[in-house]
Amino acid sequence: MTPIEIAEKLCTLCQVCVKKCPFDALSMQDGKIVVNEKCTACGICVRTCPEKAMSLRNLPKKAIAKDLKDYKGVWVFIEHSDCKIASVSFELLGEGRKLADKLGVELSAVLLGDATERMAAESASYGADTVLVMNDPLLKNYRTQPYLAGIVQLVQKYKPEIFLFGATTMGRDLAGAVATKLRTGLTADCTALDIEEQTKFLKQTRPAFGGNIMATILTKNHRPQMATVRPRVMKAPLKDAGKKAAIINETIVVSAELLPTMIVDFILQAEQNAPLEDAQIIVSGGKGMGSAKNFDMLHAFASAIGGTVAGSRKASEAGWISAAMQVGQTGHTVRPRIYFACGISGAIQHVVGMQTSDIIIAINKDPHAPIFSVANYGIVGDVLNIIPQMTKIFNEGSGNNESH
């Protein structure tokens, strides 16, 4: 049974639906409109039929992905701009490799763009066995509609069982649209992914109920199983420049006239700070810093050690740091080499954003503060005394005594 029902009494065979369908899923056969397996139930034909002759069937959930076993392989969407691949895509290739190995299937990179050759090779060097490429001027810069059409076309042809996207502005936009079109599940902002041993379902773990619990979500009846992961949550694998992948070129079938948006111009926003996600040393302050003025000592310490100042949500809500520098569930996920948590209690919503840092050093006057349970080194004491002392030591060590 197809997802579209056609009331033959109302249908005048005008074929507006055939022309409007972006997926080539409708055609005229033997004097009537026929729906084929490419239908994604997107509803465009329902909305555009002048006679209101088409409707979406309320299919039982299992009827949509008829045979889950038809779906094989792990896919990673390769996000890029100006031909530079976003680091989260490499991180996902690393995670995708582990999942593919557990399932005994191929890992594929999915690359849409208009100058893809070098990026395809780079995707291979980060672990992809196959790179599915759609190369078309329509895909030069990201726009939801053509990328959506291209991805849905690929999924319908190759049927992956798992599809991962970065939880970036682009990835969130695209993954949501793809999951809606394909009528499958999407778990946003996962912090861990794994394969359930018995069923081989993808275990998608993310904070839930305001971060108070970690929920593991399964997509049991629909395919692909889709998840987004924020940058820096997973570790990127080492690059192996010698690794090669099979390149599969596909042609996008969407026509330019069907696209409702065009890019007029790009205006770059001036960057005030280096991106927090890229910082190697982060000096993060919380409510325990006491005031905006006291954050000056964190800035002095950060400049002594080459770090970037960030903070907890309470610090950001108090206006002591900008919201753009907040770490945690509703801020950034970071993975620096060293993370200093200064006067931060260690609430779960903060910890999910920094727990994968290589080394965590916590300073807190409360020896029972939860931050000490994730810290590699803990200093119990008054941060307002300790930070100036540490700054002094580092400045003396580097011969920089300007502050004295």
Ligand X SMILES: Cc1cc2nc3c(=O)[nH]c(=O)nc-3n(C[C@H](O)[C@H](O)[C@H](O)COP(=O)(O)OP(=O)(O)OC[C@H]3O[C@@H](n4cnc5c(N)ncnc54)[C@H](O)[C@@H]3O)c2cc1C
Number of neighbouring beta carbons within 10 Å of residue 80: 19
The residues, any chain, with a CB within 8 Å of residue 257's CB and separated by 6 or more, are: none
Residue 319 or 399 with smaller CB distance to ligand X: 319
Residue 149 or 167 with smaller CB distance to ligand X: 167
- With tokens 């939860």, the residue in question is 370
Q: Output the smallest distance, CB 400 to ligand X, in A.
A: 25
Q: Output the smallest distance, CB 290 to ligand X, in A.
A: 6
The residues, any chain, with a CB within 8 Å of residue 349's CB and separated by 6 or more, are: 207, 210, 211, 313, 328, 329, 330
Q: Output the smallest distance, CB 288 to ligand X, in A.
A: 2
Residue 218 or 361 with smaller CB distance to ligand X: 361
Which DSSP state fits 172?
A: H
Query: What distance lies between CA 383 and its chain's CA centroid?
Result: 35
Q: Are 120 and 126 in contact (CB under 8 A)?
A: no
Q: Which two tokens stand for residue 248?
A: 């599969």
Q: Output the smallest distance, CB 404 to ligand X, in A.
A: 23
Q: Would you call 291 exposed, middle or buried from its count of C-beta atoms within 10 A (0-12, 13-18, 19+)?
A: exposed
Number of neighbouring beta carbons within 10 Å of residue 20: 14
CA-wise closest residue to 250 among 391, 149, 325, 182: 149
Q: Output the smallest distance, CB 325 to ligand X, in A.
A: 11
Q: Output the smallest distance, CB 289 to ligand X, in A.
A: 8
Amino acid at 122: E
Enclosing H/E stretch for 173:
helix 169-182
CA-wise closest residue to 239 among 63, 89, 69, 70: 89
| CA geometry: angle 83, 89, 92, nearest 5 deg | 165
Q: Which two tokens stand for residue 369?
A: 């503060």
Q: Output the smallest distance, CB 239 to ligand X, in A.
A: 31
Q: Output the smallest distance, CB 122 to ligand X, in A.
A: 32
Residue 181 or 313 with smaller CB distance to ligand X: 313
Residue 146 or 331 with smaller CB distance to ligand X: 331
Q: Output the smallest distance, CB 192 to ligand X, in A.
A: 18
Positions in the binding site for ligand X (CB under 6 A): 210-211, 286-288, 312-315, 326-331, 343-345, 347, 349-350, 353, 363-366, 369, 382-384
Enclosing H/E stretch for 363:
strand 359-364
Residue 96 or 331 with smaller CB distance to ligand X: 331
Q: Would you call 61 exposed, middle or buried from its count of C-beta atoms within 10 A (0-12, 13-18, 19+)?
A: exposed
